[in-house]
Amino acid sequence: MTIRDICGYLDAEVLCGAEALDREVHSACGSDMMSDVLAFVKNQAVLLTGLVNAQVVRTALMMDIVCIVFVRSKKPGPEIVAFAEENGLTVLTTDLRMYEACGKLYAAGLKGNGEIHE
- Over the stretch 41-58, which tens digit does the pLDDT of each residue have? 777 789 999 999 999 999
Q: What percent of the chain has pLDDT over 70?
A: 95
Domain 3-108 has CATH 3.40.1390.20: yes
Helix, strand, coil content of the chain in percent (nearest 5): 40, 20, 40
At residue 115 the predicted structure's pLDDT band, cuts being 50, 70 and 90, is: low
Contact 15, 86 (CB under 8 A): no
The SS3 of residue 2 is strand
Domain ranges in the chain?
Answer: 3-108
pTM, two decimals, is: 0.92
114 versus 83: which is more confidently predicted?
Answer: 83
